[in-house]
A and B are shown apart, each in its own frame.
Chain A
């Protein structure tokens, strides 16, 4: 039997730590003990597989997937597109990408969101798609608004889109957020600033992409996503001693 290759170790200093004092909710929701390092087994190398039978083609079009026929949500019409790659810079094809976001006034369609910003009857706020054979994906949506949240008294989230990505193995599972180039709220945000390295934060900032913009129609932002990479050589170590 061919032994499946394992994933590279996750760089825990590139990700936010569990405990981030300025993001108050993390204080009581962060483990205090160190995580136990676990070399991958089949349980971590494998993960769910999705196909076109799981989703509908309209699911990646937030401009129409909740709107009444002939209507559109209010807000700046945007395309968010990019590729899902791994750390070896290889595309990750046929992987599920799911997004959710507030509408243009910063309001979520969620029974727990009570912000003053108005709900938009033509905007649901979620979408999903599978990457193609080159790892490429795209969504059409409106640019989300900033919204206030209870952390410090006067905190506002920068405009953002939540992303959930699978990859091929459960060890690659990732949730993150996309921010927009030029937003002055990014630098002030306690959630953004849970990430210690400014270069890692830049990896979450989508860039205006005029070449992908559709003239007189929709502005494009490019957002590439990188998942953990795998070893190319298959080997076993024999370290036991536990």
Chain B
């Protein structure tokens, strides 16, 4: 006999199912219950930086939009600081950097308003290009999918980004780059996420 390790095992994941909205966005399930729903305000009015909108679809292996998906957003502020005690630096009082996004039930389109994040510290003294972490859950997704959104107007920062550069295939790197346009004076970044099939989005095991 040998000694035993005393670690616990992580609780295994199960799908969020089709009714995830009841728990995480009950107003969208069709009823009011909480005084405030969480994740509606990623960057409040005092948050500095460029105001942007991010929009897209989550597309399944048949090429169809997934209409019952829920995304969570996690990002740094315009100075590259996360609203978390372990990230040195200050964030604006009403900047949380976290949000919850659901789709239009008819079209599958989703979108959120935020500020464009700044570059953040990477490992070993490196700098990471501005990015937004996304976590995607839905019926049929057994374990939440992690990916990152980068910005197409950050070409040189993206080229030096240590995470993008861990992706061996140039072609697949493109799946992480949101494309900028301007609508009604507001920059809009388009970011379609392909769960499976041609141009499948890069997902990370973090």
Identify the A interface with B (CB < 8 A). 1, 4, 10-12, 14-18, 20, 23, 25-33, 35-50, 54-56, 59, 65-66, 85-89, 96, 98-100, 108-113, 124-126, 128, 162, 164-165, 168, 170-171, 173-177, 191-192, 194-195, 199-201, 203-204, 225-229, 236-238, 240, 242
Quick check: A36 and B167 within 8 Å, CB to CB? Answer: yes
Q: Mark B106-131, 1 if CB is under 8 A from A, else 0.
A: 00000000000000111110001001
Quick check: B6 and A39 within 8 Å, CB to CB? Answer: no
Q: Mark B9-42, 1 if CB is under 8 A from A, else 0.
A: 1111111111111111010011101111010000
Quick check: A43 and B74 within 8 Å, CB to CB? Answer: yes
Complex Cα–Cα for A7 and B16 (A): 23
Quick check: A43 and B14 within 8 Å, CB to CB? Answer: no
Q: Shortest beta-carbon distance, A107 to chain B, in Å?
A: 10
Quick check: A56 and B72 within 8 Å, CB to CB? Answer: no
A-B contact pairs, 10 of them (CB 8 A): A28-B62, A32-B200, A43-B133, A44-B206, A59-B34, A96-B38, A124-B33, A126-B23, A162-B14, A227-B10
Instruction: Report chain B residues within 8 Å CB of A88.
Output: 7-8
Which partner residue on chain A sits nearest B86 by CB separation? A4
Complex Cα–Cα for A194 and B14 (A): 8
Q: Shortest beta-carbon distance, A242 to chain B, in Å?
A: 5
Q: Shortest beta-carbon distance, A128 to chain B, in Å?
A: 8
**Of A31, A110, A175, A238, which contacts B195 at CB under 8 A?**
A31
Quick check: A162 and B195 within 8 Å, CB to CB? Answer: no
Identify the B interface with A (CB < 8 A). 6-24, 26, 29-31, 33-36, 38, 60-62, 66, 68, 72, 74, 76, 82-88, 96-98, 105, 120-124, 128, 131, 133, 135, 137-146, 148, 162-163, 165-167, 172, 195-197, 200-206
Quick check: A110 and B21 within 8 Å, CB to CB? Answer: yes
A-B residue pair count with CB separations less than 8 angstroms: 269
Complex Cα–Cα for A96 and B100 (A): 14
**Of A28, A50, A226, which contacts B196 at CB under 8 A?**
A28
Known: A1-B88, A44-B133, A162-B23. A176 touches B140 (CB 8 A): no
